[in-house]
Amino acid sequence: PQIILVHSQNRSYSKLNQDDVNHFKGILNKPEVAVIEDLEGTGSSSELSGYNTDWLNKLKGNSKLALRPSSTEEVSQILKYCNSRQLAVVPQGGNTGLVGGSVPLDDEIVLSLNRMNNIIGFDKNYSILKTQAGVVLEKLIEYLEQFGYMPPVDLGARGSCHIGGNLATNAGGIKLLKYNSLHANTIGLTAVLPDGTILDNMRALRKDNTGYHLKHLFIGSEGTLGVITEAAILCPKIPAAHNVALFALDNFDKVEEVLRASKDYLSENLTAIEFFDSESNNILKDHTKHRNPLGYSHNYYMVVEVSNFDNTSTAEENTKIIEDKFFGLFEKISTVIEDGVIAQDSSQREAIWNCRERIVEGFFKEGMTFKYDFSLPIDKFPVFLDKIRDKLGDHARTGGYGHIGDGNIHVNASIKGYDNLKLFKELQKELEPWVFSLVEDYEGSISAEHGIGSFKAPYFELNKSNKMVSVMKQIKGVLDPNGIMNPHKLFD
């Protein structure tokens, strides 16, 4: 069983009452499914417990009410009322966030987007997808396939995360290297401000230079400025063919060499490049059913995905093009790698990707995990990992993996099991101020892609200049003067 860290804060928001609940029942379509409540706090609603608990099982909020609107108009009415009553609100997508941003810290109302799950359509002329925010990413992948397109973003949580959550966190993932960020690919957005104002920017024009691009304020704002309800997203073509290779290497200099060679030689055909170290590989073996075809004796592993975009080729020609690319790459790195394997079919492709993507699951099963998500100069990755390992000693198993092509390393360190909360907290006290200031010394970022949430909020200001924080707080003050949106997330 997982221990849940109960987070309780004293704040000056109004206390939810029966009149509030009745009001929401009156304004929402299908109140029997749109309003989930346990005002008395009897714990009778197990459904509500899911809305209160984060993916990592580290946080357990105390919300008595989850609302599930079905339209932008309903979101507007909810927020308008909450704003006037000074009731705090946590927007929630698929609740897969890893930084304690998507659940209440106290008794905030959860505003879930999970009923706003309609795909609006796809414009093939301009390859723009229009969708409601609560659509699960995997559903968008499946929908776009019929047109030969795909979302520009993909990540391990694709089966649960919402596109709205992806936008609210500006999620990165495995495709960012090739297809760029959601900031770059979002053409239109509808967001609802805390006072109920609907900012509808869904005209979805590729070019529109009329004033400030307000949509960017909501992308990556982690639910602190308003609720994203719809989006229009530029989507790339599914490549005509693709394949994946796994390489094993004995030191980090060689990892860098393979990165450079892959970028140089494969150029636009390189669609993903990821790495993981031996401890991450061992964790995968110890806690999941996934097995590394290159074994467990190497120090580093890299996953390289190559795609071909030439639609005029036949399937055989496509396979040959990809093969040639890999053989060319092999020639360049044959003296650098210790071992390598190319997938022979789609199930082997999946198996190779699982070696990288299921590491998260492995650490989760090992025990309570310190999870860091840094951007760092690449030459600092190994020294940084070593320093964290030294600091934690035998108390934790520490691994490094991630999106090496983007300069983004995930450091996971798990203590055994979920029972020793005292040890976790002691280590955390030692580790965090030190580790976050080290990132600052290296001129990196304390969040490459997961966001700040509540876990990193105490350190956010360390990593940004005072002037930048001050402007951000001013923006927050203008859009959310009563501070009802996702309190204590982002800003401590």
| Residue 40 Cβ vs ligand FAD, minimum distance, rounded to whole Å | 26
412 interface partner picked from ligand FAD, ligand 2HG, none, CB below 5 to 8 A per type: ligand 2HG
- Region 167-186 residues binding ligand FAD, contact defined as CB under 6 A: 168-169, 171-173
Q: For ligand FAD, what does the binding mask look like between residues 231 and 260, x meaning CB under 6 A?
A: ------------------------------
When CB distances are held under 5 to 8 angstroms depending on the partner's kind, the choice from ligand 2HG, ligand FAD, none that residue 171 binds is: ligand FAD
Helix runs in 240-394, H state only: 252-261, 278-287, 315-333, 346-357, 359-366, 381-392
Report yes or no: 170 and 150 within 8 Å, Cβ to Cβ: no
**DSSP per residue, 199-257:** EEE-S--S---SS--THHHHTT-TTSS-EEEEEEEE-PBPPSEEEEEEEEESSHHHHHH
CB 142 within 8 A of CB 240: no
The verdict on 102 binding ligand FAD (CB under 6 A) reads yes
Report how far residue 434's alpha carbon sits from residue 400's, in angstroms, rounded to the nearest whole number. Answer: 18
Could you tell which of ligand FAD, ligand 2HG, none binds residue 87, using a CB distance below 5 to 8 A set by kind?
A: none
The residue within the footprint of ligand FAD, chosen from 228, 240, 272, 439 (CB under 6 A), is 228
Chosen from ligand FAD, ligand 2HG, none, partner binding at 92 (C-beta under 5 to 8 Å by type): ligand FAD
Can you name the residues that pair with 234 across neighbouring β-strands?
A: 128
3-state SS, residue 149: strand
Q: Which is nearer to ligand 2HG, 16 or 273 (CB)?
A: 273
Could you say which of 95, 131, 181, 463 contacts ligand FAD (CB under 6 A)? 95
Rg (alpha carbons) of the chain, rounded to whole number:
23
Q: Does 55 bind ligand FAD (CB under 6 A)?
A: yes
Residue 445 sits at φ, ψ, to 5 deg, of -130, 140
Judged by beta carbon distances under 5 to 8 A according to partner kind, the member of ligand 2HG, ligand FAD, none in contact with residue 405 is none
Angle at 463 between CA 457 and CA 467, to 5 degrees: 100
The least distance separating ligand 2HG from the CB of residue 96, rounded to whole angstroms, comes to 9
For residue 224, give the amino acid letter: T
Please check whether residue 246 is in contact with residue 341, taking contact to mean a CB–CB distance below 8 angstroms. Answer: yes
Residues in region 115-144 near ligand FAD by CB under 6 A? 133
380 binds, options ligand 2HG, ligand FAD, none, Cβ within 5 to 8 A by partner type: none
| Binding-site ranges for ligand FAD (CB under 6 A) | 55, 90-98, 101-102, 113, 133, 155-157, 161-162, 164-166, 168-169, 171-173, 222-223, 227-228, 360, 449-450, 486, 489
